[in-house]
Structure 1
Amino acid sequence: MSNQITPNLTAETKRYTVSIVRGENVVDRVNKAIELVGGMKRFVKKGDKVLIKANLVDGKPYETGETAHPETLRTIIKQAKTAEASQVKVGDAVTSWDLTLYNAVAKIAEEEGAEWVDLGRSPRAEVKVENPVFFEKVSVAKELVECDVLINVGTLKTHHLAGVTVAMKNLYGVLELQDRIKYHRLDKLEEVIVDLNLVKPSSLIVVDGGYTTHHWPAFEVQKMDLAMAGNNVVLVDAVAAKVMGADPKAIRYLRWAEEHGLGSANIEKHQILGLTIEEAYRSKTVNMVDFINKESENIRIINQGACTGCYGRLSTVTMQRFDIHSAKTKLYVLMGPNAKPPNPMEKDSTFILCGNCLAPTFYNRLQGTHVPGCPPDLEVFAQELSKYLAPRRRLTRQEWEKIHKDMEARGIKLPKDFKPPFSQEQQRDL
């Protein structure tokens, strides 16, 4: 059975609001952030069925910056109940062998009269996407289709592929495991992010910004003590990107979301309450380019104005498939229309020029191997890298099984239907 939902899209002319609050007390700052954008009763009416989509990725502790604080979720549940919602569900896809965080949130839900849902394993609803970026149909957790109000609770993170993962990408957790793997393999992560948000636009967005970090691999954690709230998912992601030192204009899915009527990333046209972006910002949250440049002695990625089609996808392939310590001589990977080789150049240096905006011409006098495309083809780029870098070693089945046994010995209970990804393809895609 196929459900069809027509999203309630809003014209660019509407003025949206985002609040930014700083404070050491998690509950206080979340309450204040929601209050500044009109309070819960602006979004939840008596009798509404509410789904709170939490970011609890991989069951990581809150202090890693990867997940929302359980008390943030308790606060939002309480507010939704006070607004007389008839039903409140809170959930995410369970993606970890360690169920500690998921169990803690399930306990909070029970205590507050709500229901915990594993959105990766709940019954599916196949939904037609109106005016999609790429996918005409998606299979999502039925709770997403059935709710009247979607409260999207994200975190402040940069992301190796999408640039940032705050609110819009948070809906990735309504997919089944095989679909999450599928969209990675198809190289369509940013496309499906927008299509999922077209299925069910978020009514209220709350960002638990206690910390910032980079999602895979974790590089460094920065304490921020922030909470954000907003009434448009595109604007919230754009503001959050700026708070982390990322350029919203370089994030492809935000541009596509605007083009498909989901909202506006044009911060200057909208209202920011509480702290300014400049006051909220502390220092740049690292991305995959930063990680590789710090960890590898001989690889330098020079990014000057590239979008996520290059700086996200190509740096991720470099990290996932290759040993970044194996380069014998200097390898420079240039991306973005303003990227230039170093001056003076080291002897025996190799240059890879990425994307149509760096096509070598008589005028720019760039030299090196050119990987064309907008975005460049991942396999062509990987083939070029393979000339200079050794492949990254993968865990064997025996090593996975040893990890499994070690976790069980430490008392970590695994979901009965959870199977570790033994294949190289699954390890890469997850």
Structure 2
Amino acid sequence: MNRQSIYVIYGNDGKRMVKELLHAVKIENEITGDMLIGLKPNMVVAKPPESGATTSTDMVCGIIEYLKDCGFNRIIILEGSWVGDSTQRAFKVCGYDRISREYGVELFDTKKDGFKAYDAGGMKINVCDKVMEVDYLINLPVLKGHCQTEITCALKNMKGCIPDSEKRRFHTMGLHRPIAYLNKIVKPSFNIVDGLIGDLDFEEGGNPVEMNRIIAGKDPVLIDAYAAELMGYDPYDIGYIKLAEELGIGCADLKKAEIVELNKDTAVQKKFTDAGRKVKRLSQWIIEQDACSACYGSLVHALARLDEQGLLGRLREKVYIGQGFKGKAIEGIGVGKCTGGFSRCVKGCPPKAKDILEFLKEYVNA
């Protein structure tokens, strides 16, 4: 696998999608039969994946089935929920206790583990013992926002590998610097991002946004840079991404990335019946007809960033999106390839939130 490659597959069937992705990248070529394979999901709180907070159980089942079909049976799921919540409760609420029984895979709560201090080349960090015993670590973050660091994805997901005392210390240090340095110690072998349903701006969930995709690659810095643009941010504006690149952990320059899209999204977005109040408010600016989830999700993230910058109120008209507008010549703002006949259109299939945001900012400032 090329370290500069980012693989993307679209859809809403997590188990099928992740198997197709793994078949394309063939991680089995990097694993030998006696290796201990660790799966590190995001179970920051005891909430189901539909909330936008935790890693898809369907995706995890698909990974386990793929690995077992390849003859690998030494598999462990490791996680430590955030301070104040119970990992054991998260395992149950998120459905991982069922996965453990069904597939014979151990669940390991890092909160109950011992730990040792490691030198990250300028910073000492305590890391849980079991994490360091894993031979092949598969990082399974959720694509979502964060109230302090703007986004949380591959790099920040390693925070579940440290004890609660260290998590508290990270917050006193401002998160960005210790997150970057932690990734000098804990180095995932492969990253598979759950971009099926994430949260708009808070890692605890509550404002779920369908993005209908799974993203994968070896470089966690490049993955996070890609995730940042999908959510409407410049990667270099996210402190820990910039610092992680400076520390030599990976590359944040997306111009050097090879984006491999394995298919195109065709799943029409749901009507956000379970969406939080903020997503429902943002959706009032959208006129959609049969919009794909990946495209619609990007637009929601872009509108959220526009709102944060105090510019949403200056948007003088609603934004059109969806396959129902294919071939139509309309005076207005369209998002995505299907609205190519509009007088003003953001190209892409699907476009990134960052591109939509830049387009809308130029429009409202005109």
Distance 2:263 2:176 in 1: 28
Distance 2:168 2:306 in 1: 25
Structural RMSD (CA): 3.0
What's 2:198 paired with? 212
* Alignment partner of 1:283 is 2:299: yes
One-letter amino acid of the counterpart of residue 178, structure 2: V
Distance 1:241 1:42 in 2: 30
Any conservation in 2 of the 1:45–1:83 contact (CA below 8 Å)?
Answer: no
* Alignment partner of 1:19 is 2:10: no
One-letter amino acid of the counterpart of residue 283, structure 1: L
What's 1:201 paired with? 187
* Alignment partner of 1:224 is 2:215: no
Say which SS state the counterpart of residue 181 (structure 2) adopts: helix
The alignment's TM-score, normalised by the length of structure 2, stands at 0.68
What's 1:29 paired with? 17
> For structure 1, which runs of at least 5 residues remain unmatched after alignment?
1-13, 298-342, 344-430
Measure how far apart 1:288 and its partner are: 9.0
Distance 1:180 1:90 in 2: 20
1:158-187 deviations in Å (ceiling 9; x for gaps): 212222101110001112222211211232
Any conservation in 2 of the 1:156–1:208 contact (CA below 8 Å)?
Answer: yes
What's 1:312 paired with? none
What's 2:39 paired with? 52
Say which SS state the counterpart of residue 245 (structure 2) adopts: helix
Any conservation in 2 of the 1:48–1:86 contact (CA below 8 Å)?
Answer: no
1:191-231 deviations in Å (ceiling 9; x for gaps): 11111111121111001111131225756321122111111
1:272-312 deviations in Å (ceiling 9; x for gaps): 11169999553252799777778xx9xxxxxxxxxxxxxxx
Say which SS state the counterpart of residue 155 (structure 1) adopts: coil
Q: 1:241 aligns with which of 212, 219, 228?
A: 228
One-letter amino acid of the counterpart of residue 301, structure 2: T
One-letter amino acid of the counterpart of residue 260, structure 1: L
What's 2:276 paired with? none
Q: 1:122 aligns with which of 103, 110, 113?
A: 113
Any conservation in 1 of the 2:15–2:58 contact (CA below 8 Å)?
Answer: yes
Distance 2:304 2:176 in 1: 16
Say which SS state the counterpart of residue 48 (structure 1) adopts: coil
Measure how far apart 1:15 and its partner are: 4.9
Any conservation in 1 of the 2:52–2:206 contact (CA below 8 Å)?
Answer: no
Measure how far apart 1:86 and its partner are: 5.4
Summarize the Cα distance change of 1:121–1:290 in structure 2 as closer, same or farther, 3 Å threshold.
farther
> Paired residues, what number?
279
* Alignment partner of 1:263 is 2:250: yes
* Alignment partner of 1:149 is 2:136: yes
1:344-370 deviations in Å (ceiling 9; x for gaps): xxxxxxxxxxxxxxxxxxxxxxxxxxx
Any conservation in 1 of the 2:116–2:128 contact (CA below 8 Å)?
Answer: yes
Distance 2:134 2:204 in 1: 34
What's 1:109 paired with? 100
The alignment's TM-score, normalised by the length of structure 1, stands at 0.59
Any conservation in 2 of the 1:46–1:83 contact (CA below 8 Å)?
Answer: no
Distance 1:43 1:167 in 2: 20
Distance 2:264 2:247 in 1: 26
Any conservation in 1 of the 2:91–2:97 contact (CA below 8 Å)?
Answer: yes
Distance 1:217 1:152 in 2: 19
1:142-173 deviations in Å (ceiling 9; x for gaps): 12111111100011112122221011100011
Any conservation in 1 of the 2:44–2:204 contact (CA below 8 Å)?
Answer: no
What's 1:77 paired with? 64
One-letter amino acid of the counterpart of residue 48, structure 1: M
Distance 1:58 1:39 in 2: 31
Summarize the Cα distance change of 1:272–1:77 in structure 2 as closer, same or farther, 3 Å threshold.
same
Say which SS state the counterpart of residue 57 (structure 1) adopts: coil
Work out which of the two has the higher radius of gyration on C-alpha atoms and give 1 or 2: 1
> For structure 2, which runs of at least 5 residues remain unmatched after alignment?
266-291, 314-364
Q: Which has the higher helix share?
A: 2
User: In percent, how many aligned pairs have the same letter?
Assistant: 25
Any conservation in 1 of the 2:87–2:109 contact (CA below 8 Å)?
Answer: no
Which shifted more, 107-116 or 198-207?
Answer: 107-116
Any conservation in 1 of the 2:232–2:305 contact (CA below 8 Å)?
Answer: no
Q: How does 1:139-178 map to 2 (within 5 A)?
A: 139-178=126-165
Any conservation in 1 of the 2:147–2:203 contact (CA below 8 Å)?
Answer: yes
Any conservation in 2 of the 1:46–1:85 contact (CA below 8 Å)?
Answer: yes
Measure how far apart 1:127 and its partner are: 1.8
Distance 2:26 2:151 in 1: 26
What's 1:11 paired with? none
